[in-house]
Every structure is written in structure tokens, then in C-alpha cells.
Amino acid sequence: MASPDFTQIADDRKLFKNDHFFIVEDLYPVSPGHLLVISQHPYRDYLELPMHIRPFLSQAIDQAVIIIKERHQPDGFNIGMNCGEAAGQTVFHFHCHVIPRYVGDMHEPRGGVRHCVEGKGYY
């Protein structure tokens, strides 16, 4: 499967945009309502985002949460990004996942993102 080109996303797919970020539905959602916050410019990952645009990321994440809550009734959220191939990044254009979570959507959600390294989530 070819890596998506975020620069080619049509405006009619964009649910929100500000000067630096836009929001779209994830084409391969892990739960109902899964959204992506994507940079307007092709920064590689979060660590490349200039400091002066990071506050706009918070605004866009907040807007993604509002959109999800309007359309779904999630019980929680995972909000995250992968920075680098070793961290699982496969599309090298900044994007942040806003994933709604629902009671019962997995057997044991405790530990959340700590489970990104197998066997390390429990302590």
C-alpha cells in the first residue's frame, strides 16, 4: 500500500482548518470517529514543528474533540503522534491521531499508550 500524500487531500474532506493545521477523518479508523490533525506544511513530525505554530496544534486538537463529541459519545480519548520510523511513523508528514475510546472497546485499556512497546505497559 502506498503512503498517503497529505498535500493532496481535497478541501471538501477537511472538517476544520486554521492557518497551520487541518482535520480529516482517518481513512483507516481504529474506532468510530477517529480523526487526524495534519499540518498544512510538510513538517516531518512533531519535533520539526516550529514553536510558534504549536499553540495552533492545541486549538486544532480541541476542535477535533468537539467534532467527535458532536458525532459520537466517546468515554475517553487517546491523542498521539508517532515521531520517527522506530516509533511506528509511516507517513512522514506531521499528523496527530485523535482517537475516541469507548467502554468495552478492548478487554483491558489500562496503560493506554504505554503499550506501544510490547510488554512494557504494565508496572
Over the stretch 75-117, which tens digit does the pLDDT of each residue have?
A: 999 999 999 999 999 999 999 999 999 998 887 777 677 666 7
Q: Please say if 41 is a catalytic residue.
A: no
Q: Considering 95, 97, 107, 115, which one is annotated as catalytic?
A: 95
Three-state DSSP class for residue 26: coil
Each as own residue / partner, the long-range contacts of residues 47-50 (CB below 8 Å, 24 or more positions apart, any chain) are 47/83, 48/94, 49/94
> Is residue 55 a contact partner of residue 47, using CB atoms and an 8 Å limit?
no
At residue 13 the predicted structure's pLDDT band, cuts being 50, 70 and 90, is very high
Over the stretch 17-56, which tens digit does the pLDDT of each residue have?
A: 999 999 999 999 999 999 999 999 999 999 999 999 999 9
At residue 3 the predicted structure's pLDDT band, cuts being 50, 70 and 90, is low
Reply yes or no on domain 10-116 having CATH 3.30.360.10: no
Cα distance between residue 104 and residue 90, in whole Å: 28
